[in-house]
Amino acid sequence: MSTLEIRELQVSVADKEILKGVNLTVRAGETHAIMGPNGSGKSTLAYAIAGHPKYTITGGQVLLDGVDLLELSVDERARAGLFLAMQYPVEVPGVSVSNFLRSAVTAVRGEAPKLREFSKDLKNGMDALAIDPAFATRNVNEGFSGGEKKRHEILQLELLKPKIAVLDETDSGLDVDALRVVSEGVNRFRASGETGVLLITHYTRILRYVKPDFVHVFSAGKIVEEGGPELADKLEAEGYEAYTKASA
Amino acid sequence: MGLNEKPLSTLHEKSSYNLDDFSVPTGREEKWRFTPLSRLKGLHDGTAEVTGQVVTQAYTPAGVSAEWVGRDDARVGQAYAPTDRVSAQAYNAFEKALVVTVPKEAVPAEPIQIELRGGGTAGVAYGHIVVKVEPMAEAVVVLDHQGSAVYADNVEFVVGDGATLKVVSLQDWADDAVHVSQHHAQLAKDATFRSFVVTLGGDLVRLSPSVSYTGQGGDADLSGVYFVDAGQHLEHRLLVDHSTPNCKSHVDYRGALQGEDAHAVWIGDVIIRVEAEGTDTYELNRNLILTDGARADSVPNLEILTGEVAGAGHASTSGRLDDEHLFYLQARGIPADQARRLVIRGFLGQLVDKISVPELRERVLAKIEAELEK
């Protein structure tokens, strides 16, 4: 059973401190929602954990089963069992979805999947997320709509089966149907009870489909309040005003 | 210029069969300023001894003829006259020309393979090839250059009325080869020409593909990929001369460069003359600079002498691998060097997809793959 421990994490972007000491532990079987106003540093947390070069770690640790992810390269973190579903997945010209997915699965599993097995997994995964099979031959994210990009992210989540998944505003820009499809994918992923989910969102809407065990409110680079699912209901009713005022 | 005179193209090149019409380049001339003359091994100044050898063999499918002819054959120099010193040198020095003819309305089932094999860099060699595709015929030609050589040649592609010619030219030379080459395509009415150039090997390669039109409705597509390693100079100089109405041209060259003193040069000249109304043209060059110490010079020139064009544009970009692409692939567990290869292969591969013959596409991809594995 895996555990992600974020300890006193401090992160800067271009010499500006964004995260000011974040503490959070996500265990397998748990779903944590991080909620907060725009600009509070939620996405910075996601990208810093994944190792995006734009973010500079100035203090703290991020341990996955005791291994400090911050010491690892981006790809090593992914192979260690971390997954980041991105808010704005980039287009990669000339690289087909099937080639990309096969390369990723091979890298994460440490061996190439059998072609027949992989084709079957891919087809099932695409069917479950209502992705047109023709996408397999298209270039990664190229010309995908916002919803298609998000479904493609969740397809990767289901194929790569990480220990801990960080979902960065996966719900943004989705209509209700797409949100349901994507949420079902996340729920399939966490159904085993052996994986942890860190769900970053601005809105409570997705939490009706993906029920969190814990809710953390993020403001000005820190967690300022923690609680159970009821905290999300409070935010739904009252908004973030109380927190943004407090930090100002 | 008087009011009654037509504007003249400044890109218009002097052409002549006579070597004396071209002075020995010094390196200061516009058309020679990027080329390291000292590495041409005498191809440009007449000092080279013609003792080298490039063995050229044509493998032709049924219905296509290939013959070696003398310098005085009427088909030689019919479509093209040299436009620079090395081209003129080659034109005046080759012994026999290879003439490949695809007869009227013929559609050979297989590509025409022309293999050129260098036999070493002691002494230079000159060559001349004419590929004649007669009206309404359709053919694919592969020029495959391998081995070591110091070689200058002119290749004429004569594409008849309504005919289609697709050319793939592989410059897969050994590391010490020097190759200066002119590829000229002359397109008759409604002719279609597709050129795909792949330049990977050689110490210095300077390849100048050019296109002229003799009738309306001509359509030329010139693509190229190159991969420049440390110390290599790979230069492509394109000239499309639109002198008849309602013709098309599309140019897309892409390259990747890595290593100290890897140097790519791309010149894209397009002339749309006064009489070439309804011309539709676009040219593009993109360079991916993978390491410090590599350099790409990219110069598009679009000269429009008529107000009545259907479309005319150009673009040139040179830059590094996109960090966001690499991050995305690495975030899915793909190791950095493999992510890099995937992105580079994707960048070049998109262009390779334009090759319509599957076996040739696979062959070109395999060559690029091998280059990436180096």
Q: Do B332 and A108 touch (CB under 8 A)?
A: yes
Domain boundaries, chain A: 3-90+164-247
Are residues B327 and A53, on separate chains, in Cβ contact within 8 Å? yes
Residue A227 pLDDT greater than 80, yes or no: yes
Cβ atoms of A55 and A135 closer than 8 Å: no
Lookup result for tokens 């009252």: A238
Instruction: Determine the pLDDT at residue B8.
Output: 62
Please tell me the distance from the alpha carbon of residue A47 to that of residue A54, in angstroms, as a whole number. 9
Q: What is the pLDDT of residue B4?
A: 46
pLDDT given at position B7: 58
pLDDT at A118 over 60: yes
Q: pLDDT tens digits for A17-66?
A: 999 999 999 999 999 999 998 889 999 999 999 999 999 999 999 999 99
**A3-90+164-247 CATH:** 3.40.50.300
Contact: A99, B331; criterion CB under 8 Å = no
Contact A75 B342 (CB under 8 A): no
- Residue A78 forms contact with B (CB below 8 Å): yes
- Is residue B143 classed as helix, strand or coil in its secondary structure? strand
Distance between B6 CA and the closest CA of chain A, angstroms: 44
Low-confidence ranges of chain B (pLDDT < 70): 1-13
* pLDDT category of residue A147 using cuts at 50, 70 and 90: very high
pLDDT of A246: 53
Give the model confidence (pLDDT) of B175-215 as tens digits. 999 999 999 999 999 999 999 999 999 999 999 999 999 99
Q: What is the DSSP string of A168-198?
A: ESTTTT--HHHHHHHHHHHHHHHTTS--EEE
* pLDDT at position A248 over 60: no
Q: Which of A49, A76, A103 is the mutation pick for testing B, counting most B CBs within 10 A?
A: A103
Q: Do the beta carbons of residue B187 and residue B217 sit within 8 Å?
A: no
How many CB atoms lie under 10 A from the CB of residue B82?
A: 25
Q: What angle do CA A129, A131, A136 make, to 5 degrees?
A: 125
Q: Please state, as a whole number, how many other Cβ atoms lie within 10 Å of the Cβ of residue B280.
A: 17
Mean pLDDT of chain B: 94
The predicted pLDDT at position A236 comes to 87
Tell me the two tokens of residue B53.
Answer: 């050898």
